[in-house]
Amino acid sequence: DIQMTQSPSSVSASVGDRVTITCRASQGISSWLAWYQQKPGKAPKLLIYAASSLQSGVPSRFSGSGSGTDFTLTISSLQPEDFATYYCQQANSFPTFGPGTKVDIK
Amino acid sequence: QVQLQESGPGLVKPSETLSLTCTVSGGSISSYYWSWIRQPPGKGLEWIGYIYYSGSTNYNPSLKSRVTISVDTSKNQFSLKLSSVTAADTAVYYCARTNGYCSSTSCRGYMDVWGKGTTVTVSS
């Protein structure tokens, strides 16, 4: 199995802040990586796929980068609706997810 | 737009079989892969397995011995069976459309449409 780690596990931020979340794969996965946003009691929502492609309908303040083993999700200017937990998922082999990063209000 | 809805018992006894169905509406089940994912209370996401509309499947190796996923294209549904359940199988179960390509050795896809999820508790 390819193991995924995320850092930090949680981050406190204010509206308007720039937030960066890191995801690392235990082996190279090229650009086979997605990011999801999950709010309490809701299903995850696909934000980014293929490491840097923005899913249709997702605001442009979300961006992804990276390849190989190291990836980042950046929210350029945090909005109130962005407080949520974010998961990365590798798609190089059978899907595995990172443990999540909770973004909460400072 | 495509919508997914999970259905099935919310309570299953230990050692019994968990059975869930996902109904696809607003689009055809054909030409896509379809996955089941679960999330134990307060924990992260675990992919259970996928099925293609043709019936080809593959499963998470950690669950493979207990999982069966099937499809009924006439009803635009696919289903999950998980046998010999224990309390560790208590979770919210999601069905999701998997956009990409899956094979016997990999599933290069992303879950772009999700159901709302259904909570399954394993308890006597």
Is residue B123 less than 8 Å (CB to CB) from chain A?
no
Q: What is the mean pLDDT of residues A4-25?
A: 97
Q: What is the pLDDT of residue A104?
A: 94
Report the chain B residue with the minimal C-alpha distance to residue A48. Answer: B110
Q: What is the pLDDT of residue B101?
A: 87
pLDDT digits (tens, 9 = 90+) for B60-85: 999 999 999 999 999 999 999 999 99
Q: What is the pLDDT of residue B110?
A: 95
Give the torsion sign (CA, B88, B49, A2, A22): negative
Give CA–CA dist A92/B110, Å, rounded. Answer: 11
Q: What is the pLDDT of residue A1?
A: 87
Among partner residues B47, B94, B110, which is closest to A94 by beta-carbon distance? B47
Q: How far is B15 from chain A (nearest CA, A)?
A: 26
pLDDT digits (tens, 9 = 90+) for A22-39: 999 999 999 999 999 999
Tell me how far the alpha carbon of residue A71 is from its chain's centroid. 9
Contact B106 A46 (CB under 8 A): no
Is residue A2 less than 8 Å (CB to CB) from chain B?
no
Q: Tokens for A25?
A: 């794969």
